[in-house]
Structure 1
Amino acid sequence: MKIAMGADHAGVRLKDELIGFIESLGHQVTDLGCNCSDSVDYPDYAIAVCDQVVAGQADKGILICGTGIGMTIAANKVPGIRCALVHDLFSAKATREHNDTNVLAMGERVIGPGVAQEIVKIWLETEFSQGERHQNRINKVKALEDKYAIHP
């Protein structure tokens, strides 16, 4: 699987630690930055990752900032992205099974690398539960996205 990863300055250490772990699981990682501790704007990295997912250049995306909140908000502005902020194992599994999320967000200041690795592993390995009720809900989210999309 191809995974696009991005982080701001507050998530760069966790991003860097997770890349090798994800590759050890057999996935290909594209690191879209940032690669420094200087203050940067998280939306720039969220959009870079989401653009790759929407374009089909990556199967899934992972975003990391201090709390994961900013990345989640920015990512969910992109049509076709279903990004979940996850800091526990149950949510990692549920968000894939029930919501078919294609982007995962985490906060480096909230969780450590061990928990982050477990979350990523579960999230990458869990399939969408293709039941009618879950798909109907995703279709309703897509309809909201279409309704409120700004068309030039």
Structure 2
Amino acid sequence: MRVGVAADHGGYALKSRVAEALASEGHEVVDFGAFQLEPSDDYPDFVLPLAKALSEGSIERGIAICTSGVGASIAANKVAGVRAALICDTYSARQGVEDDDMNVICLGSRLSGCADAVDLIKTFLGARFSGAERHRRRLGKIAKVEEAKCQVE
């Protein structure tokens, strides 16, 4: 699978280790940075290009990491077609894809060690959207908001 990874300084070390683990599993890893540890960098500078690449179809799934995972999640969800969530357990990693077609997993480097992060990512990448009618209906409502065809009430 073609997987994008992105992290700011807070997730830089974890991103590097996760990218190595993904490559060793046979995934094609596209790195959106950071490419060096720079304490003053900002997560949107790396997460937004990853999200745009996902939205445009040049990657199949994304992994975004910052210190808490919250900022990465907020940034990624600003791009239409991206469904990102902060994940801390394997149930949510699987269910988020199966029910909500999550395509970006967000991790907090202070919440997950490397082994836990790799387990969460394996679960995320191994899950598939169920396509159930109720899930498609709900995603359709979100897509309408993204397309600015309706207002959130």
For normalisation by structure 1, the TM-score amounts to 0.94
| Corresponding residue number in structure 1 for 2:129 | 128
In the alignment, the residues of structure 1 paired with residue 42 and residue 51 of structure 2 have an alpha-carbon distance, to the nearest angstrom, of 15
Instruction: Give per-residue Cα distances to partners, 1:88-114, cap 9 Å, x unaligned.
Output: 111101100011011111000111111
Unaligned 5+ runs, structure 1: none
Partner of 2:63: helix, strand, or coil?
strand
Deviant stretches of 4+, over 4 Å: none
| Corresponding residue number in structure 2 for 1:84 | 85
After superposition, where does 1:1-152 map in structure 2 within 5 Å? 1-38=1-38, 39-147=40-148
Partner of 1:4: helix, strand, or coil?
strand
In the alignment, the residues of structure 2 paired with residue 148 and residue 81 of structure 1 have an alpha-carbon distance, to the nearest angstrom, of 17
RMSD: 1.3
Task: Give 1:15 deviation, angstroms.
Answer: 0.3
Partner of 2:147: helix, strand, or coil?
helix
> Aligned residue pairs: how many?
149
Partner of 1:120: helix, strand, or coil?
helix
In the alignment, the residues of structure 1 paired with residue 37 and residue 109 of structure 2 have an alpha-carbon distance, to the nearest angstrom, of 13
Quote the sequence identity (%).
38
